[in-house]
Amino acid sequence: MLQIFHNNRCGKSRNCLSMLESSGKEFEIISYLTTPPTAAELKGILEKLGISPIDLVRQKEKTWIDNFKEKDFTDEELIKIMITNPILIERPLLISEEKAIIARDEEKIINFLKK
C-alpha cells in the first residue's frame, strides 16, 4: 500500500494528496508532524529515496536556520534531528514497498503512480 507523509498546511502536500485520491490507488495518510517516523523508518525511507539525510532536511525552515544551520552533523545526528523536529522533513513524501519520492513535482507524482 502507498503512504503519503502529509502536512495539511502545505499546498504541495494537499495537491499530492488530491492526485493520490484521484488515482484510485489504496493509500495511507501519515500525519508525520504528529506521528514522526522512527529512526528505522526514516532510514528505510532514505534508502528508498536514494539520498542522504541532509537532502531530506528542509534547510530553509526557521527551525533549521535558528538551531542547526552552519553546523556539521553525522547522518545519525541528522536522522535524530528530523525525528525530534519533524517539521524539518521535506514534504510530501510518497512511499511504496519498493521506492519513494519527494512529491513536490506533479510530473514526478504522475510517473510514480503509473508504476
> Does 10 participate in catalysis according to the annotation?
yes
From the list 3, 7, 9, 10, the catalytic residue is 10
Cα–Cα distance between 14 and 92 in angstroms, integer?
Answer: 9
Cα–Cα distance between 2 and 113 in angstroms, integer?
Answer: 9
Q: Which of 90, 92, 96, 93 is nearest to 26 (CA)?
A: 96
Cα–Cα distance between 81 and 77 in angstroms, integer?
Answer: 6
Instruction: Give the pairing of strands 2-5 and 27-30.
Output: parallel
Cα–Cα distance between 37 and 32 in angstroms, integer?
Answer: 7
Active site residues: 10
